[in-house]
Amino acid sequence: MQDRTAGTDFPGTARDAVATTKGAISDAASRVKDKAAEVGESAREALHTGRLSTANALGTAATGLHSKADSIADAGHDAADSISRVGHDAAEKMKATAEYVRTHGAKDIMADVESYVKKNPGKSLIGAAAVGFLLGRALQSND
């Protein structure tokens, strides 16, 4: 009779073992699912934080680039204004010189040149050297 009792207990024990195993597998699966959800949430948060950091860095870089572009534009306008002013000043001096030559005779012009050279010998010497250099270059390139 012990064989029947032992046989009778075996199916019950097997059922208990299967039920215990199913419970353990279910618990393990639930823990794995929870852990996967945690990892997924952590990854989502890291991605969100990284995305925001990247967006902020790009925004800061764009603002800096706009600022530099404005500075360059301002400098360009300032340079253009300076060049324009120099050009206008030179044109006005040429216009005044043309009017002077138109209204004065050769004797008056020579007398004014002599007076200027006596009052400003250094500037006159530099001017004469520059004119001589330019004339020399002009004559040399024609040969």
The pLDDT tens digits of the residues spanning 25-57 come to 878 778 888 887 887 788 788 777 777 787 888
Q: Which residue has the higher pLDDT, 93 or 9?
A: 93
SS3 16: helix
Distance, CA of 64 to CA of 47 (rounded, Å): 26
pLDDT at 143: 57
pLDDT at 1: 42
Residue corresponding to tokens 């300032």: 78
Using a pLDDT cut of 90, give the percent of the chain over it.
10
Q: Maximum CA pair distance of the chain? A: 156
Residue 108 has pLDDT above 60, yes or no: yes
